C-alpha cells in the first residue's frame, strides 16, 4: 500500500480558530514529509475570513504563522481530495455524516485516542487563555494524527462500522464498549 500524496483536512465550525490552528500545527509537525499536504475548512464558514486574532497571537508566540490564513467552507471537492479528515467535535462528525455520508469513512475525531470527552471546545470570543488551552489540546493530538496518517489510509465505510482495531490499541476496554460506540456513531 502506498502512502504517497496524503491530503489531510481539518474541520471545525467557522474555520477561524480550531481547524486553522490544527492545520498550522500539523504542517509544522509534518514539515519534512513532502508527500503530505494539509488544509482546513468549516461547516459554517464563509470564504476569505482571517483567523481570529487570539488564534494568530497564540501560535505566533511559538513561531507558527497564521496571519495570512483565510477561511473556506467545507465542500464536496475538499472532502473528495482528502485522504484523512479530522473534526474537532462529535457534532462535526455527525454533520458531515448527514450532509456528506459518502465521505464518513475518512472522518475521525482529532482527539480520537483520548479518554473522556475528546471534543475540542470552541474558544471563539473567550480570550487568549482559552485559546492557549485549545492550542495545547490540539497540539497534544498531533502525534497520534501523524501516526494514523503514516499507518494506513482511512477505512472504507463498511470497515469503519466493524473495525475496532485502532480503538483496541488505545483502550483495552474497547470490546465491551464497541456496540455502544457504534450505535452513537450514527446518531444525528
Which residues are catalytically annotated?
12, 18, 122
CB 84 within 8 A of CB 154: yes
As a whole number of angstroms, the distance between CA 11 and CA 16 comes to 10
As a whole number of angstroms, the distance between CA 56 and CA 67 comes to 6
Output the DSSP codes for 70-136: B--B--HHHHHH-SEEEESSHHHHHHHHHH-GGGGGGEEETTTT-SS-------TTS-HHHHHHHHH
Amino acid at each position: 500500500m502506498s502512502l504517497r500524496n496524503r491530503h489531510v483536512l481539518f474541520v471545525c465550525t467557522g474555520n477561524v480558530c480550531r481547524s486553522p490552528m490544527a492545520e498550522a500545527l500539523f504542517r509544522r509537525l509534518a514539515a519534512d514529509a513532502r508527500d503530505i499536504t494539509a488544509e482546513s475548512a468549516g461547516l459554517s464558514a464563509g470564504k476569505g475570513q482571517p483567523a481570529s486574532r487570539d488564534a494568530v497571537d497564540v501560535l505566533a508566540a511559538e513561531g507558527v504563522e497564521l496571519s495570512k490564513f483565510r477561511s473556506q467552507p467545507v465542500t464536496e471537492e475538499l472532502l473528495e481530495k482528502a485522504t484523512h479528515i479530522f473534526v474537532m467535535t462529535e457534532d462535526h462528525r455527525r454533520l458531515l455524516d448527514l450532509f456528506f455520508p459518502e465521505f464518513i469513512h475518512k472522518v475521525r475525531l482529532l482527539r480520537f485516542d483520548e479518554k473522556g470527552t475528546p471534543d475540542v471546545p470552541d474558544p471563539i470570543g473567550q480570550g487568549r487563555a482559552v485559546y492557549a488551552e485549545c492550542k495545547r489540546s490540539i497540539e497534544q493530538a498531533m502525534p497520534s494524527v501523524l501516526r494514523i496518517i503514516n499507518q494506513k489510509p482511512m477505512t472504507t465505510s463498511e470497515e469503519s462500522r466493524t473495525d475496532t482495531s485502532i480503538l483496541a490499541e488505545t483502550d483495552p476496554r474497547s470490546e465491551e464498549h464497541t456496540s455502544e460506540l457504534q450505535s452513537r456513531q450514527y446518531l444525528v
